[in-house]
Structure 1
Amino acid sequence: MTRFGFPFLLWALIVGLLATMTFAVMVGSVNITPSLIWEVLFLKLGILSETAASKAQTVIIWEIRLPRVVLAAMVGAALSISGAAIQALVKNSIADPYILGVSSGASVGATSVILLGAFSTFGVYALSLAAFLGAILSVLTVFLLARVNGRTSVIRLLLAGIAVSMVLSAITNFMLMMSKQQGGVQAVMHWMLGSLAGAKWSNLGIPFFTLLLVFLLLFMNYRQLNALLLGEETAATLGINLERFRVFIILFVALLTGVMVAVSGSIGFVGLIIPHIVRMIVGSNYKSVLPVSALIGAIFLVWADIGARLVIAPEEMPIGIITAICGGPVFIWMLRRRRYSFGDGE
């Protein structure tokens, strides 16, 4: 892609994301115009002193719809860049952020809160805290199992991730089977399939700064990510400390994914599909892959959330079902393309 083409693509995606988020805030039982949305936003930011929106419309825009849309964009961006980084780490096109056991660990934590009342002293933050702790403990277990003679083995990382995920999934299923709380079981299943319904401004600070931090760290190390695609020997000859860099990716990707899963539940296929699509558009240079993945991932998940709210309205469908319905066929189509292979942009 030419120098002119890539900046144009970035700006087009930024405009597309803003338009998508604006439309997402408009969707709902109460009709709201785009001008009212931006007036309320500028009012809250102190740019405007008054707005034509009523008090009820202001509450709907600012307190209900906008936090949810912002969370959807952040989760989509986070899962996409995490998936891109993990695929470079293991040099495997079917790897995603959950391969480290993040999702299954978070599910155990969330299930223990919903069904057993664990962490009840933390009130409304109990679910997010338990899910995050479960995710991080799962990743640490996988990481320790993957260490061989002081080094991290990629093959062991994959196998340990699968094994730990299966064990933790069994624990979650056991708690669900033994529980007599029908409402609690339904709540767990809904959480495990992903939901953005609990989005509040007070919950968005940590995910936002975590996303910003990890994105900047990964972007600053895009050359090392590119080198990983060339193989271990080539990366080593370029002066990259492979062991240290692997630990760096594992820890920060686990941190980012764990934070996002804690606030949104387990949303599949985003971290798997989006990096594939991005490499087909801009190639395999991570200087381009990371920002484009973040923007396309954000747009995709905002649209997925719109679908989750509309498909069975007034009820809400778990967003993970929407991403699976969209992502599965796309992934199969990409696998069937003869010219597509991991690491190239064709």
Structure 2
Amino acid sequence: MRNPAIAGGWTLRAVPALPVPALFALAILALGILVVAIGLAVSIGEMAIPLGTIAKAVGNRLLGTGFTISPIQEGIIWDYRLSRSLAAACCGAALAMSGAILQALLRNPLAEPYVLGISAGASTGAVAVMIAGLGGGALSMSGGAFTGAIIAFTLVCALAAGTGGLTGTGAERIILAGVAGSQLFSALTSYIVTTSANAEQARGVMFWLLGSLGGIRWPDVGLAAPVAIGGFAIAILHARALDAFAFGVDAAVALGIPVTRVRLILFGLTAAMTATMVSIVGSVGFVGLVVPHAARFLVGPGHMRLLPVSFMIGAVFMVLADIVSRIVVPQQILPIGVVTALFGAPAFAFILYKARRRL
């Protein structure tokens, strides 16, 4: 008989509550680490920029200080690297939270945001705009990606709901629906590229599909930041429900959780966050899979702690991955999805090995 203390493939262990001053200190420390990581991301590149110069440039723009710095350096800081780093942080935070939510809802330690087929749908939408000219120029590539992601999520939900995957006890069926949806939209993407793209377009599509932060500008940050922060707020409000889902649907019902409504809200939340981030940076894998497990190792499975820690670790991880993508190959920028996969694939193998007796 399976141990009732095992939920979703991990042991629910008690973690002593911390006093409010300690929690506040940890929050300040986490924010400090994120700020340092972003500062390093802005500093490191083909043109190295001192941290002091970065602080002056930010002060000039936000506080109206009159520090004298090179216009070239100020342009690189403000118009390129800072927006790129902030978007990377928002993307990592949102994907990590989405992974933590899905792993609880599906009670599967290998679940991640792309299990719902959202990434494949976003890729199809972007390719349809970029190559097939869908929208007649009125729709941007990011808009096409977002539209494709929502269509894919709707299709997967319809398929899962038809088999009880959203409302019954067999929530694992949504994983199978997501696999089917991913294969369908991946095939559509390949068909569009094969039949309509020239060599240059095909190369651009492949780079975007692997994840790219190269075209990030401040309007993208203006979209990513509210989605990540708003998603965090909604997820925290449902932390108790996620704890209940970790023990199964019957336990959630016994605790008075409105199972169907909460599932729809949280599945929709993960879809919206993932679709938004994919529409901005492209497909970036393994963040939603690996980061929640790292956070769970540090603070346990209680979602009131797990979600904030996943948020911060995901943000820092993506910013550091962006740094690696820009320096690992001289005079060349790797797709950020390649970097996350290089770190995430071994971690995935380790998780699979540890969970082999439960899968």
Q: TM-score range by the shorter chain?
A: over 0.9
**What are the ranges of 5 or more consecutive residues in structure 2 without an aligned counterpart?**
1-14
Calculate the aligned-residue CA RMSD, in Å: 2.0
Using the TM superposition, give the Cα deviation of residue 340 of structure 1 relative to its aligned residue in structure 2, in angstroms.
11
Using the TM superposition, give the Cα deviation of residue 338 of structure 1 relative to its aligned residue in structure 2, in angstroms.
8.1
Structure 1 window deviating more from structure 2 (173-182 vs 86-95): it is: 173-182
Q: How does 1:177-326 map to 2 (within 5 A)?
A: 177-326=194-343
Secondary structure of 1:204's aligned partner: helix
For the 8 Å contact 1:179–1:185, the answer to whether it is kept is: no
More helix by share: 1
What is the distance in 2 between the residues matched to 1:10 and 1:313? 36
- Name the counterpart of 1:100: 116
* TM-score, scaled to structure 2: 0.90
Instruction: List per-residue Cα deviations over 1:5-60 (Å, max 9, x = no partner).
Output: 654443322211111110110011222111111121122112x4212321111111
* TM-score, scaled to structure 1: 0.93
- Name the counterpart of 1:152: 167
Give the fraction of aligned pairs with identical amino acids, expressed as a percent.
37
Secondary structure of 1:274's aligned partner: helix
Mark the CA change 1:300 to 1:140 in structure 2 (over 3 Å): closer, same or farther. Answer: same
Mark the CA change 1:329 to 1:6 in structure 2 (over 3 Å): closer, same or farther. Answer: farther
For the 8 Å contact 1:273–1:327, the answer to whether it is kept is: yes
What is the distance in 2 between the residues matched to 1:322 and 1:180? 26
Instruction: List per-residue Cα deviations over 1:237-269 (Å, max 9, x = no partner).
Output: 111110010000111110111011000000000
Secondary structure of 2:311's aligned partner: helix
What is the distance in 2 between the residues matched to 1:7 and 1:82? 24
**What are the ranges of 5 or more consecutive residues in structure 1 without an aligned counterpart?**
none
State the AA in 1 paired with 2:167: T
For the 8 Å contact 1:99–1:158, the answer to whether it is kept is: yes
Secondary structure of 2:235's aligned partner: helix
For the 8 Å contact 1:114–1:187, the answer to whether it is kept is: no
Structure 1 window deviating more from structure 2 (33-42 vs 235-244): it is: 33-42
What is the distance in 2 between the residues matched to 1:228 and 1:338? 19
The structure 1 residue matched to 2:83, chosen from 67, 73, 92, is 67
Secondary structure of 2:284's aligned partner: coil
Instruction: List per-residue Cα deviations over 1:196-249 (Å, max 9, x = no partner).
Output: 111100222122111111110110111011110011111101111100100001
What is the distance in 1 between the residues matched to 2:59 and 2:37? 18
Secondary structure of 2:229's aligned partner: helix
Secondary structure of 2:131's aligned partner: helix
State the AA in 1 paired with 2:293: H
Q: What count of residue pairs does the alignment treat as equivalent?
A: 339
State the AA in 2 paired with 1:130: G
Instruction: List per-residue Cα deviations over 1:59-111 (Å, max 9, x = no partner).
Output: 11000110000001000001000110111110101000111111000010111
For the 8 Å contact 1:78–1:257, the answer to whether it is kept is: yes
